[in-house]
C-alpha cells in the first residue's frame, strides 16, 4: 500500500479529505464501491448516501445501454 503525506488547510479535516479522495477515486473507476467505502471509513450504504449528497452516481450506466435492456 502506498502512503500519501500532505499538509491540509486547517479548515479541512483529515476525515473530510479522505472522504473526498475516496469519492473521486470511486467516481473515476479506480476503486470499487466497497473499497472506497472501507478506506473512507463508512459502510457501503452510508457511502452511497454520501455519493448522492455530492451528486456522484452510484451506477454509471449509459442511457443507450439502459434503453437496449428495456427493449429486450
Give residue 67's pLDDT: 75
CA 68 to chain centre: 27
pLDDT of residue 62: 72
Question: Residue 64 has which C-alpha cell?
Answer: 443507450
Spell out the domain ranges in the chain. Answer: 14-58
Whether the predicted pLDDT of 24 surpasses 90: yes
| pLDDT tens readout for residues 25-70 | 999 999 999 999 999 999 999 999 999 999 999 987 777 777 777 7
The cell numbers describing 69, all together, are: 435492456
Amino acid at each position: 500500500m502506498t502512503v500519501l503525506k500532505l499538509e491540509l488547510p486547517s479548515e479541512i479535516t483529515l476525515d473530510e479529505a479522505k472522504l473526498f479522495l475516496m469519492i473521486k477515486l470511486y467516481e473515476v473507476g479506480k476503486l470499487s464501491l466497497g473499497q472506497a467505502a472501507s478506506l473512507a471509513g463508512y459502510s457501503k450504504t452510508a457511502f452511497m448516501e454520501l455519493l448522492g449528497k455530492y451528486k456522484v452516481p452510484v451506477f454509471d450506466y449509459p442511457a443507450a445501454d439502459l434503453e437496449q435492456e428495456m427493449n429486450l
